[in-house]
Structures are given as C-alpha cells and as structure tokens.
Chain A
C-alpha cells in the first residue's frame, strides 16, 4: 500500500499544457551549467593512474581517516544535542524559543572564518575560557577536538532546522491521542513523535554530515592544518594544491564522490522508507 500523498511526490511523465515553456528553460539553463560543468571538469581532470597516485600519496590516508573519525564524532554530538533542541523548538513557543531559533540559524549566515576566530576567542589561550583550560592542562586549539568543535558549530543548524521542521509536521492531535492512551510525555516523544519524524531527522543528519565533511575555514583558523591531527580532507586538498595539483584533484574527486553518493542516498531515502514501511505493515 502506498501512503497517501506519495503521488504528489513522484513526478508524472506527461507534459502539462500549463507547464514551463521553452523560454523559461533557456533562462534556467545557464545556472544549471554553472553548477554542473565544474563537476564534469573535475571528473575528467585526472586519468585513472593519476587518481591511483593521488590515493597512494602519503597525505591521503591520514586525511581520509581523520575526516571519517571527526565527522562521525561531530554528527554524533549534533544528534545527541540537536534532537532535544529541535523538539523544544518545534513544540515550544514564546520569546525564548524565537531567540534560540535565531541562534541556531547564525552559523549559516556567519562566514566560517569568523566562526574560527570566535572559537579561538572562546577556547584559545587568551580566550574566554583560556585561563581555566590552561589551569586544567587542556589545550583545545590546534587539536583534533578543535576540528570536531568547529564541525559541530557549522553543521548543527543544518540538522536542527531539518529536525525541527520534521517535528513540526507531526500532527499535535497524535501526541494528545498518545497521551490519552497512557503514554507519558517521554513515551509520546519516543513512540510517536520520533518515529514519525525519523525520515526528516535522517535527512537533516545527512546534510549536517556533508557540511561537517566539507568544513574548511573555521577548521583552518581554529585547528590549523597539521597532518594526522587536524588535516582533514578539505585541508589536505588545500595543502596538496601547493605541491602537487594531481593529488589535490584526486582528493577532490574522492570527496566529491562521497558527497554525490550522499545526495543520491538522500534522494532515495524517502522512497525506500515508504517501501520499507509498506512491507512491515503488511507483514504485521
């Protein structure tokens, strides 16, 4: 069984009489080319042997491994901290909620380099918590922890916005029904709100992961570019560009490939989700 509303999500094959005309397509084409052509250029820039050489270069493996570790850690932090925040934003009202919403949006509009400086001014030696951190013998800037912190700050908005939107789409009546059927606030969240919003949360998490994976500016300023410790994939591309363009291109291809795969998965997820749901329900 297909859920109602699926029809509106799948695009029909037939051309509508009131559909877009040729003129509109002409106007839209340049920007599409602007987006697509560089990716094609990147894909054809290196031969398979160049790509292999890039992957074998000494900067590749440590940078990839660091990117994997730090993004997994930062997405975990974003999920654990961002989910309750999103639920609060979606179910609360009043001035505090609106202020929190604005705060969540900030890292999207603030340039990453500025975020990096702000993080330095917070955790750096002469920063807000500098004295306390130094006294405890903890150094944050130019460590792997700094990489994770920078990724968390820049990627949180992407998850929280998507999750709050998904929670807002959960019918309030369903929550009241769950309560009257004996569930506590917590039970209602876990058994009703969370499963219904889950596709939206997964989409938000994927966006946050993509943003964390691509993080460059804040990381460079706050964590530096130390191979093995803070040199993630984007920073490795930046470093490689100065010595060997081919390595930079190879690294870029791998990063672009991972991102395209992610986008593909994101596009497919809702359909796979409803297919999965259809089958579980028919088996139940």
Chain B
C-alpha cells in the first residue's frame, strides 16, 4: 500500500505546488495558516481539479492530468475527516458509520452489522446508541474515524484531528489515533499544528509554506536542522 501525489493548482490567492508520498502509516503535514494544508487534502480527495500533476492511491492513478484521468471523489478510495469531523447531523451515530455501506448497496441488516463491527474494532462500540448531537469532540472524532474506516479507504485524510479538543480529550484521542493508525497499517495524511501530536503519531513530516514543500523528513531530522523559522519554532516548544 503506497500513495503519491504531485499537484499544481491555484485557488484564490493560494498557489499550491506540492509533491507528497507515503506508505503504511501516517505522514504529517505541518505549516503556517493559509499554507495550503487543507487544500492539499481536499485536492487529493477530489474537491478541486489540479491544473497539472497526478495522484496515485494504492497503485491506482485517480488523477493524471497528462492522461486525462480524473476519478470523482467516490471512486478514489480516500477516507476524508475534515476539521469539525463532518458527522451527518441528521443521522444517528450508527447510521453515520453505516453510511459508506449504503453506497455499496448493502441491505439494512448488513449495514447495521457491518457498522457495529467497525465500531467495536475502533473502540467506540459504547457510542452505538448515542445521538450524534450529544457527542463530545473526542467522541465525534472517534465516530468520524470509524466511519472513514468502514469505507475501507486506501488513504486516510485527517484534517487537524486534535485541534478542536481540550487538553484531556486531546491526550486521549492522540493515543487513540496513534494506536489505531498503527494497528490498521493504513496510509494516512494528517494535518497537524502541534509537535507533540506529530511525535505521538510517529509520522514522517512534510512542511508546507505558501503552497510549497519546504522540508520533509523524520521529526528528529527536522528538529535537528530546521530549514525555516516556522520549522524551528514548531519543534522548539
């Protein structure tokens, strides 16, 4: 399982020109506000059409400007968890997790059973009977991750999965994410803005500034010789 993307596009004042790749396990994207982190995730998910470049997930080209390939989001095999988790407010927790199975034409019984199993696997079986509105931030993040995993994606795209959480929830979800990403052995691209989160995930790091990759490598390598002021400040704390 591997993925790579090299995309160039212009959205508003942002000019994104980035090349990223990964194998099993998480790659963390860090960078200042407005550096194009979320745009990169959304582009890989298929929200924007790059002017040039290619995106390959699990050996399958899902976008290739030169060959005229541009698969719609539903055929890219990505699991996207936006900031704010993106749970469907009009559906129950179990129906949220069952949502990807609707698309596969599974019967209601199969969907319920499948989502129950996914929720057990991802350690949120206790949330099955809860209302979506009543979940805490940490619980929403777990359910969103369970739902993304239920679609069996080839690449997980997580946008600031820990940003909106208070300190105790953050610690708990950080551990949870790290252990589940390791256990699922799933490629993942994770936007983050805290060195502690990046370290806990054991992720390779990619630094995006003004739409361009300015440095990449392991946490230790980046901390030892930061290429920009941002990288230096990021690992200082």
Contacts and interface: CB of A to CB of B under 8 A. Distances in A.
Contacts, number: 89
A278 B74 CA distance: 30
B86 A182 contact: no
Interface string A37-65: 00000000000000000000000000000
Given A1-B134, A281-B131, A182 B94 contact: no
A1 B133 contact: yes
Contact of B133 (A4, A177, A179, A195): A4
Interface in A237-284: 277-278, 280-282, 284
Interface residues of A, number: 28
B46 interface: yes
Given A176-B47, A176-B73, A278-B133, A284 B84 contact: no
Task: For the complex of A and B, list the 7 residue pairs with the smallest distance between their C-beta atoms, beginning with the closest.
Answer: A182-B103, A284-B92, A179-B73, A1-B134, A173-B82, A281-B131, A177-B86
Nearest to A5: B133
Contact of A184 (B72, B90, B104, B131): B72
Contact of A284 (B79, B88, B95, B151): B95
B92 A181 contact: no
A281 B80 contact: no
B100 A182 contact: yes
Contacts of B148: 180-181
Given A173-B84, A179-B72, A196 B131 contact: no
Given A173-B84, A177-B88, A180-B148, 4 more contacts: A180-B151, A181-B99, A282-B129, A284-B93
Contacts of B102: 182-183, 191
B61 to A, nearest CB: 17
Interface in A194-212: 195-196
Contacts of B74: 179-184
Interface in A158-189: 171, 173-174, 176-185, 187
A11 interface: no
B8 interface: no
Interface residues on B, range: 35 or more
A3 interface: yes
Contacts of A97: none
B187 to A, nearest CB: 15
Contacts of B16: none
Interface in A1-45: 1-4
B68 interface: no
A1 B139 CA distance: 15
A181 B45 CA distance: 11
Contact of B90 (A171, A187, A196): A196
29 contacts: A4-B133, A171-B84, A171-B86, A174-B86, A176-B46, A177-B82, A179-B45, A179-B72, A179-B73, A179-B74, A180-B45, A180-B148, A180-B151, A181-B148, A182-B74, A182-B102, A183-B74, A184-B72, A185-B72, A187-B103, A191-B99, A196-B88, A196-B89, A277-B90, A278-B133, A281-B133, A284-B92, A284-B94, A284-B129
A192 interface: yes
